[in-house]
Amino acid sequence: MKYLIEFFKGIAIGVANIIPGFSGGTMAVIFGLYEKLIYAFSHFFERPIKIIKEMWAIGLGVIVGIGIAVFAITILLDHYPVPTILFFVGLIFGSIPKIQERANLLSKEQSPKIGMLLGMFLLLLLTFIPVTDHAQDTMSIIFIIGLFFIGALGSASMVVPGVSGSLIFLIFGYYDYILNLASDFIKGFLSINLDLLSDTILNVLILGVGIIIGVVLIAKLIEKLMLSHKTLIYGFITGLLIASPISILVNLEREYPGEVRDSSFLIWFLGFALVLTGTVISYTLGKKESLPDIETLQEHI
């Protein structure tokens, strides 16, 4: 039962990594898996067998979630972007009370408050950087090198709540290309289309290596900071979560201006109902979840 639950949580994390403006790290926080994922990413190459035994259900769920998002969620975003994205905004709202408790924001300690302000400032700064339309030759050396580094930078979305890898891809003009690359690779794999696989496999590997290296390095940094400045880091995460709805809504208007402008009252009403639904779901899950500590994980994994 434990692994089935973690599998479905992994699906949600995978889906979140594809939605522009959203973050898989945020979803990991919502489901109480954040420190567990940080530990797994940070120590994977040191003890891979133990990590795989403990995390295989989540990892499999993430892969399935990305596949679902590339196809099913893309369809929902194409036809119903406003209510779909507002539901995820609600999930963020419901997660904030649990995280601010970890940050100890109501105490007299100043470091979590400073962390919160830094998190809000960073995400809002990232949100309002102008988006680039890439018109690059996707076979050029510069583009291939850029694909590696954008994978490493975009991997931050898996380990830094509120920082959207999709938004980073958009800012640097790679989002449409990466979404189409993932879609073509999955189609080629499922249909055993060797031509389609051969056209995509090299760039998928380059992007994947960049993501893996970025995830491990960022996770190691966060783990070290958590061991020495936990309330500061959770304050920073709280700030990212508080600013996330603004980032997501700005990106919603940026990506779907016609739908935002022309959606009927019924669509917006449904969207706000889904905000409330997502908030209740997330808050309820947060109350039930006990978040494992990095210190505890070091002793048991």
**Tokens matching residue 78:** 């194409």
Burial class of residue 33 in the structure, from the number of CB atoms within 10 Å of its CB (0-12 exposed, 13-18 middle, 19+ buried): buried
Q: How far apart are the first and last CA of the chain?
A: 20
pLDDT per residue as tens, the chain (301 positions)? 777 888 888 888 888 777 766 677 777 877 778 888 888 888 888 888 888 888 888 889 888 888 887 777 767 777 888 888 888 888 888 878 877 777 778 788 888 899 899 989 988 887 777 655 554 555 677 777 788 888 888 777 677 776 667 667 766 777 777 877 877 887 888 778 878 778 788 888 888 899 888 888 888 888 888 788 888 888 888 888 888 888 888 878 877 888 888 888 899 999 999 999 988 987 887 665 555 565 565 555 5
Are 9 and 33 contacting, i.e. CB atoms less than 8 angstroms apart? yes
Q: Please give the distance of CA 55 from its chain centroid, rounded to a whole number.
A: 17
Give the C-alpha separation, 69 to 76, whole Å: 9
Which phi and psi (to 5°) does residue 174 adopt? -110, -5
Helices (H), 19-128: 24-30, 34-43, 48-68, 74-79, 81-103, 111-127
